[in-house]
Amino acid sequence: MPSNTTLSSPAVPNKWLVLATLAFGTFMATLDSSIVNIALPTIRRELNAGDSVEWVVLSYLLTTTSTLLIMGKLSDWLGRRSMYITGFIIFVLGSLLCGLSWNIVSLVGFRVVQGLGASMIFAIAPAIISDTFTAKERGQALGLMGAIVAAGASTGPVVGGLLLGKFGWASIFFVNVPIGLVAIWRASVVLPSSPTQPRQPFDLVGAGLFLVGVTTLLTGLDFAPEPDYGWIHPLVLALLGSGFVLLGLFFFWESRTRLPMLDLSLFRIRPYTSAILASWLGFVASGGNLFIIPFFLQQLLGFTPQMAGLVLLSGPLTLSVIAPIGGYLSSRVSTRWLAGTGLLLAAIGYFSFSFLRADWVWQDVVWRSSLVSFGFALFQSPNSSSALNAAPVSQRGVASSVIAFMRNMGLVVGIALAAAIWYSTRNQYALTHRTDPMNTMAQLTGMRYVYLTITGLMLTAIVVSFARGKTSHKAGQTDVVEKDQSTLAG
């Protein structure tokens, strides 16, 4: 019997049970991304962490984002089932160690371990879905996964608050251990074998350039909006410059080496490239919104953190309801039109935020947030399905991880962009009107310009999304079929 495993049918075994198992893992990893934020003040106080407490979140984000492509490539060679289960084991071990942390340094270090496991889960789960479901069914499956991601993001602060009040900050990590062990057992029983590619030498140079380049760039983007640094601070300029140079060297190396970690020919597939670029633009806009709206609610409207949290639930709740619908429609409506409509609705929602005022009530925010999430839910699942349908089976693991990477990178860039526009605009307003930058109108002006900018990003994403061309899916197919037979561009 050959060593490589090939799926004879995309329906083996019990595909919906496979989806439920993957959804459980994704829910846990997403929950952990949002559950920690609410505990940061407590961790800061009890571990005497000071401002370094931000690295509890930053270390997890940097580790997850910078290793996604590496995990995706390894899954193409080693098999997605074994990689996914290994990732879950690492995630649970990291959770246990985080709960046992004795100071801020140990906690940050163990969060890196946890982030490695989460990276494997995020990178590989969509690829397993693509292996298991037909091209016609993938949109619906990915739509359900989108609902799970939204549910995890919205549940995190609520669960975290309950655990924090009753059992202390360590409990937000310990809770992952028993649940994770059950999830590992179920994954080992349920998940099917996946296609593997022949073993080849690993591109250590490419992996190193990518890992260090992304980590350096993201660190610079995180430091830049901070009051103690700024965009022209020597450290920030050094980090950003080094990151861009290293990533430039990464792409140069990948175009020259015989066995690249990232086969750049993947980006000559027009539907795939259009999908990931549109996704990146969408998540840059999401990052900007996620950064601005809590400040607006608490600083300008005077909401308590609890009230602000309840208001912000409207977005994830809408996403969790609409995402499965978007996935269901993706096999029945052209991806270009469905994704384009979703992006347009989100753009309208963001544009309506550009009129924000200091006398708004909670309803003014809820309907706008719901409109943005409604549109993004219609876009996200069909867009991801289109990208994975277009990717060759031999590169599906790395193609899946690129989608997750663009999501994380987009959020970080969006936060940095929003901070830069907000701070610079409010400061300019204060200079022009001889007032304090914290003046309400100065703050509002800066926030309005942020929303105008991200509205422009969404309109750009519509153009990019339509550039993917016409596609049609037939049940049982594993790859996209271009009607005009011009999938490869240029």
Predicted local confidence at residue 154, as pLDDT: 63
Q: Are residues 43 and 75 in the same domain?
A: yes
Predicted local confidence at residue 222, as pLDDT: 74
If we measure between CA atoms, which residue out of 263, 276, 277 comes closest to residue 72? 263
Alpha helices in 330-395 (DSSP H): 335-353, 362-390
Q: Are 95 and 107 in contact (CB under 8 A)?
A: no
Q: Are residues 450 and 336 in the same domain?
A: yes
How does pLDDT run across 460-483, given as a tens digit for each residue? Answer: 999 998 887 665 444 333 343 333
Residue 4 in any domain: the answer is no
Q: 4-13, 307-316, 423-432: which has the highest mean pLDDT?
A: 423-432
Residue 121 in any domain: the answer is yes
Residue 20 in any domain: the answer is yes
Place of tokens 């910078």: 66
Q: Are residues 313 and 405 in the same domain?
A: yes
C-alpha span between 443 and 31 (Å, rounded): 31
Predicted local confidence at residue 486, as pLDDT: 35
Residue 344 pLDDT greater than 90, yes or no: yes
Residue 98 — very low, low, confident or very high, per pLDDT cuts 50/70/90?
A: very high
C-alpha span between 416 and 176 (Å, rounded): 31
Q: Are 242 and 219 in contact (CB under 8 A)?
A: no
Q: Are residues 246 and 341 in the same domain?
A: no
Residue 457 — very low, low, confident or very high, per pLDDT cuts 50/70/90?
A: very high
145-171: b (≥16 Cβ within 10 Å) or e: bbbbbbbbbbbbbebbbebbeeeebbb
Predicted local confidence at residue 406, as pLDDT: 81
Q: Are residues 239 and 292 in the same domain?
A: no
Looking at per-residue pLDDT, the higher value among 204 and 489 belongs to 204
Q: Are 354 and 307 in contact (CB under 8 A)?
A: no
Q: 95-104, 116-125, 286-295: which has the highest mean pLDDT?
A: 95-104
C-alpha span between 340 and 146 (Å, rounded): 18
Residue 306 — very low, low, confident or very high, per pLDDT cuts 50/70/90?
A: low
What values do phi and psi take at 20, rounded to 5?
Answer: -65, -40
Q: Cβ atoms within 10 A of the Cβ of 53, count?
A: 21
Residue 9 — very low, low, confident or very high, per pLDDT cuts 50/70/90?
A: very low
Predicted local confidence at residue 114, as pLDDT: 92
Place of tokens 């140069």: 252
C-alpha span between 468 and 486 (Å, rounded): 10
The DSSP code sequence of 68-133 is HHHHHHHHHHH-HHHHHHHHHHHHHHHHHHHHT--SHHHHHHHHHHHHHHHHHHHHHHHHHHHHHS
Residue 118 in any domain: the answer is yes
Predicted local confidence at residue 138, as pLDDT: 67
Q: Cβ atoms within 10 A of the Cβ of 439, count?
A: 14
How does pLDDT run across 161-195, given as a tens digit for each residue? Answer: 677 777 888 888 888 888 888 888 888 888 877 66
Q: Are residues 157 and 210 in the same domain?
A: no
- Say how many domains are in the chain: 3
Q: Are residues 180 and 312 in the same domain?
A: no
If we measure between CA atoms, which residue out of 93, 91, 110, 92 comes closest to residue 101? 110
Q: Are residues 374 and 417 in the same domain?
A: yes
Residue 448 in any domain: the answer is yes
Residue 488 in any domain: the answer is no
Predicted local confidence at residue 456, as pLDDT: 94
> Which of 164, 194, 224 is at the close of a domain?
194
What values do phi and psi take at 472, rounded to 5?
Answer: -140, 145
Predicted local confidence at residue 376, as pLDDT: 86
Q: Are residues 146 and 67 in the same domain?
A: yes
Q: What does the DSSP 8-state code read for residue 455?
A: H
- % of residues, the chain, pLDDT over 90: 14
C-alpha span between 445 and 429 (Å, rounded): 8
In angstroms, what CA-CA distances link 446 with 121, 259, 420, 436, 443? 37, 47, 10, 13, 5
Q: Are residues 147 and 27 in the same domain?
A: yes
Residue 249 — very low, low, confident or very high, per pLDDT cuts 50/70/90?
A: very high
C-alpha span between 43 and 41 (Å, rounded): 6
Residue 204: exposure state from Cβ atoms within 10 A (0-12, 13-18, ≥19):
exposed
C-alpha span between 166 and 143 (Å, rounded): 35
Q: Which two tokens stand for residue 163?
A: 């655990």
Query: Once rounded to an integer, what is the mean pLDDT over residues 312-338?
Result: 76
> Which of 240, 260, 280 is at the close of a domain?
260
Strand partners, 472: 481
Predicted local confidence at residue 454, as pLDDT: 93
Place of tokens 């942020």: 450
Q: Cβ atoms within 10 A of the Cβ of 302, count?
A: 10
Predicted local confidence at residue 150, as pLDDT: 65
Residue 489 pLDDT greater than 50, yes or no: no
Predicted local confidence at residue 270, as pLDDT: 84
Instruction: Please give the torsion angle defined by the CA atoms of residues 70, 76, 77 and 80, in that order, rounded to the nearest 10 degrees.
Output: 100
Predicted local confidence at residue 199, as pLDDT: 62
Long-range contacts made by residues 178-186, C-beta under 8 angstroms, separation at least 24? Answer: 179/28, 180/28, 180/88, 180/91, 180/92, 180/95, 181/92, 183/21, 183/24, 183/25, 183/28, 183/88, 184/85, 184/88, 184/89, 184/92, 186/21, 186/24
Query: Once rounded to an integer, what is the mean pLDDT over residues 436-463?
Result: 91
Residue 481 in any domain: the answer is no
How does pLDDT run across 142-156, given as a tens digit for each residue? Answer: 667 766 776 676 666
Query: Once rounded to an integer, what is the mean pLDDT over residues 126-144?
Result: 72
Residue 370 pLDDT greater than 60, yes or no: yes
Q: Are residues 392 and 275 in the same domain?
A: yes
Looking at per-residue pLDDT, the higher value among 426 and 25 belongs to 426
Residue 210 — very low, low, confident or very high, per pLDDT cuts 50/70/90?
A: confident
Residue 225 — very low, low, confident or very high, per pLDDT cuts 50/70/90?
A: low
Q: Which two tokens stand for residue 350?
A: 């963001």
Predicted local confidence at residue 157, as pLDDT: 66
> Which of 224, 240, 260 is at the close of a domain?
260
Q: Are 148 and 26 in contact (CB under 8 A)?
A: yes
Which CATH number characterizes residue 393's domain?
1.20.1250.20
Q: Are residues 56 and 145 in the same domain?
A: yes
By 3-state DSSP, what share of the chain in percent is helix, strand and coil, each rounded to 5?
Answer: 80, 0, 20
Residue 474 in any domain: the answer is no
Residue 245 pLDDT greater than 70, yes or no: yes
Residue 346 — very low, low, confident or very high, per pLDDT cuts 50/70/90?
A: very high
Domain housing 38: 9-194
Residue 488 pLDDT greater than 80, yes or no: no
- pTM above threshold 0.85: no
